[in-house]
A = this chain, B = another copy of it.
Amino acid sequence: MKLGFKYIDGGICAAQGYKASGTYCGIKRPANDTPDTKHKNDICLFTSDVPANTAAVYTQNKVKGAPLIVTKANLEKSGGKAIAVIANSKNANTCNADGIEKAQKMCDLVADELGIPSEQVIVASTGVIGQVLPIEPIEAAVPVLAKGLCYNKNLEAATAIMTTDTVKKEFAVEFKIGGTTCKIGGMAKGSGMIHPNMATTLNFITSDCAISAEMLQKALSEIVQITYNCLSVDGDTSTNDMVVLMANGLALNEEINSEGEDYEIFKSALCEVMANLTKMLAKDGEGATKLIVSSCRTAPDVKTATTVAKSVVCSNLLKCAIFGEDANWGRILCAIGYADADFDINGVGVDIASAKGSVAVCRNGAGVPFSEEKAAEILSEDEIFVNIELNCGDVSAKAWGCDLTYDYVKINGDYRS
Residues of chain A at the chain B interface (Cβ within 8 Å): 31, 60-64, 92, 94-97, 99, 128-132, 192-193, 195, 197, 234-239, 314-317, 320-321, 323-324, 326, 328-331, 333-339, 343, 345, 362, 365-367, 372, 404-406, 408-417
Residue among B338, B404, B411 making CB contact with A61, cutoff 8 Å: B338
Residue among B62, B97, B337, B416 making CB contact with A239, cutoff 8 Å: B337
The answer to whether A412 and B330 touch across the interface, beta carbons within 8 angstroms, is: no
The answer to whether B316 and A234 touch across the interface, beta carbons within 8 angstroms, is: yes
A92 to chain B minimum Cβ distance, whole angstroms, is 7
Residue among B314, B320, B333, B372 making CB contact with A130, cutoff 8 Å: B333
Q: B residues within 8 A CB of A337?
A: 61-64, 237, 239
The answer to whether B334 and A238 touch across the interface, beta carbons within 8 angstroms, is: yes
A351 to chain B minimum Cβ distance, whole angstroms, is 14
Closest to A233 in B: B316
Q: B residues within 8 A CB of A408?
A: 316, 320, 409
The answer to whether B96 and A367 touch across the interface, beta carbons within 8 angstroms, is: yes
The answer to whether B129 and A414 touch across the interface, beta carbons within 8 angstroms, is: no
A131 to chain B minimum Cβ distance, whole angstroms, is 7
The answer to whether A409 and B405 touch across the interface, beta carbons within 8 angstroms, is: yes
The answer to whether B131 and A320 touch across the interface, beta carbons within 8 angstroms, is: no
Closest to A342 in B: B62
The answer to whether A326 and B63 touch across the interface, beta carbons within 8 angstroms, is: no
A238 to B335, CA, bound (A): 9
